[in-house]
Structure 1
Amino acid sequence: MELGLLVPGRHGNLYDFSEDSIEDIRWIHKLKEMGFLLKEIQKVLSLRRTSNWVEPQEIAEYLILLDKKKKSLRKDIENIEDEIARIEEEEKSFAIETAGDKVLVGAPLKALEYLRCPFCGEAFAVEQVQMNSRYIYNGKLACSCGYALEIRDGIILSPSAADEADGGADLEREKYKDLPASVVTMLQRSYNFLLHRISGMQLYDRVVMETDINEFFYLYTHFRKIENRVLFIITDRYPQVLRMYKERIEYLKLDLDILYIADGSGNYPLKKGSVDLLIDYFSSNYRETCRGESMSGRMLEYLKENGEIIGCYFSGKNEERLFDKKQFLEEMKENGYALIKERTIDCPVEVGKGNQLLLYESKTEESTAVQKTGTQKTGR
C-alpha cells in the first residue's frame, strides 16, 4: 500500500478491498514467484492499470521486463554457481591442509639450557628419555637436590601441576564461544596492538613466554605472524589444557620450538634472566584474582635485564573483584618497569559499563632489575 501496489477504498478507519484489489494481489503474488522485486512489480502494475493489456506498446514493454528479469536471474544463477565452486575449492584446501597425521613434537632440546631447579638453581640431569635429534618426548629431569620434573608426551610436568581430575580446565574453550560481535571487535583491537608492538622487535633466537593460558591464549592464533626462530615457553597449571593446545598446534604443522610447562606455583623451573619477551594477555588479572600476587613482581626474576612485557589488562569491575588500572601501573613501576607505550580502549556494554582494557608495553629498568630480583620471588 505504501508503494501503491494496492489501492483499496476506505470507509473511515476501514479499508475496502474490492475485486480489483484481489486481482492486484494475485498479480503481486505471481510476479514475486517469478523473482520480481516490489519496485519492479510496481512498474508492471502501472503498465497493467494504464493499458489493461490491450495496448500493444505496453504489452511489448511488459515482455521486455520479463526478458530482462529472466536474464538477471540467469546471471544470478551463474554467480551462485561461481560462489559454490569457490566454496568447494576452499573445502578442498582445508581438507588437504588437515589431511594426514599431525606433526608430533616434544620438549625442544634447545630449551634444556633454560631449565633450572627453582630451589637451588642447578641444571637438570636427563634420565630415561625417549627423544630424537630435536625433541624429548618422554623422560625425567632430575636435580641433585631431589627436585624432579617429568616429561610426558612432550610436556614438562612439575610437582605443582594441577591434578588431571580438577574441573577448572577449559578444554572446550567455552570463554570464546558465542561472544557478541562487539566483544570480538574489542579483542581484535587488543590483538592488533600487541602484534604491532611485537612486530617491531628483533626476536631471532630469543625467548618468548606466555603464562596461564587456560584463561586466554594470545599466541595460539598468532604463531604464524611471529619470527619462527624463537623459543616459545607456554605455561599453565593444567596439564590437560597444555595437551589440548599442543595437539591442536601440532595439526597446524608449524615448524616451531615450543616448551610446554605444567606448573601451578609460578615458581617455574627456568633459569633466571632468560626471557626476552613476556606476553601478559589478562594473566595479570588471573594472578591477582587466583593467587593474590603481582604478575610483574613474580615474573621480574625470569626476564632479562632489558626484557619486555607486552600485555592487555582488564580494568574495572567484574563479578569477582575490582581491577584498578592506576594501581596496576604503579605496581609495575615499583617492581622495576618503565612504561614504553600505553593505550586504553573502552569495553562494550556487554563487558560492563565503564570497564576498559589497558594495552601496554613495558621494559625492565636495568638499574633496578638487579636490585629487585632478590626481593620479588614470592610476589607481593
Structure 2
Amino acid sequence: MNDAITAAWRRAAGHQRRFDARFATYLDALTDPASSSLEIPRHGTFPARALQLVRELSLRGGKRLRVTLLHEAAALVTDGSVPGLDEAAISIELLQTHGLIHDDIIDDAPTRRGGPSTYYAYRQDFPDRPGTALALAVLAGDLAAFLAGRVLLTGALPPDRALAMAAVQADAAAATVAGQLLDLERDFHPAPDIELLHEVTEYKSTRYSILAPLRLGLLAAGADLAPHDAELRRYATALGIANQIHDDWLDLFGDPESLGKPVGSDIRSGRRSYVVRALLAVCDTGERKLLDAALGAPDCEADTLDRIRDIARAHGIDRQLRADAERYARQAAARTATWRERWRPDAVAFFEHMPAWSVTRER
C-alpha cells in the first residue's frame, strides 16, 4: 500500500472513530426514555426492543465509507466546521441500517457485522412465532428508515438546507428500494449480462452509498450541486462498480473473521453476483453441475464452497475480478482530474486515492 493510499485510509479511519462516538451518543439519547426526543408508547416492550436492535446493529461497525465521503465532500469546499454534517452522517448510516435489516430478511442471513442479524435476533426472541419475528424485523427496518429522515429535519440546519438534504436522502432511499427489486429480478436470469449487474449496483448501493454522501456533504458546505452533478455521478458510478466487484470477491475469497460474517453467502442465496456470473461463463459440465447444486442452497457445506473457490482460482476468476475492480477504481480516480481547478487540493487528493484504497480493504 503506497503512502497516498495509506493517508486516505488514515483519514477514513479518523472519520470513523469520530463518527462512532457521535453516533453512540445520539443513539443512547434516542433509546433513553428519560431524555429521548422521540415519542414512543409507554406501554409494552416491542417499540423499545426495536429501537434497541436498531441501535445494536448500527453501532456494530462497518466501513463507514458513506461517513468518510460525506465529510470529505464538505472539505472540497471548506476546511472549517460545517453545521449539519453530523446529522447527515447519522442519517445516511441509519438508512444503511434499514437496508441491512431488510437485506438480512430477504437473504435469511443469521449474522451481520459479527453478531446476530436483526431478523435472527427476533427469531431467538420468538422461536415459536416465525411470522411475528418476520413482522417485527420488517418494522425495525422501517423504523431505521424513518429515523434517517427525521434526524435531518429535526436538527439545527436552516430550513431550506434541511429540505434540500432530506430530498437527496429520500431520492437515495427510493433508488435503493428500486435497486433491491431489480436485485431480486436479476436472480431469475440464469446468467445476467454485465450491464444488468452494473445497473443493480448503481441503484442498490451506489446512489445511497457514494452519490448521496457526496451531494449531502457539498450541500451542507453551501455548494451549488447543479454545475457538478454529472461529474459526481460519473465518479460515483465507477467507484460503486469497483466497490461491488471487490465486495463480491470478498464474499468468496475473503476472510470470515475480517468480514464479520461467513463467506459464500452469495452462492448460498443464489445471488448472481459478479463472481457467480464469471463462474457461470467458464465452468465445464462437471463444474457447472456442482455450482448449480450449490446456488440457492442455504445448507451448502463448507467443503463444497472450498471446491467452488478452487474452481474459480483455477480459471483465474479471482485475479480477473481483482483486475476489474482496480480498473474501475482507476476510472473513478481519473474523474478527479479537473477538480483541483475549483476545489481544495487536499480533499481532491483524498478522492483521487480513495478508489485504490476501497479495492484493497479486507472487509
Greater fraction of residues in helix: 2
TM-score band by shorter chain is under 0.3
Greater fraction of residues in strand: 1
- Higher gyration radius (CA): 1
User: TM-score, normalized by length of structure 2?
Assistant: 0.25
Q: Which structure has the higher relative contact order (CA within 8 Å, separation 6+)?
A: 2
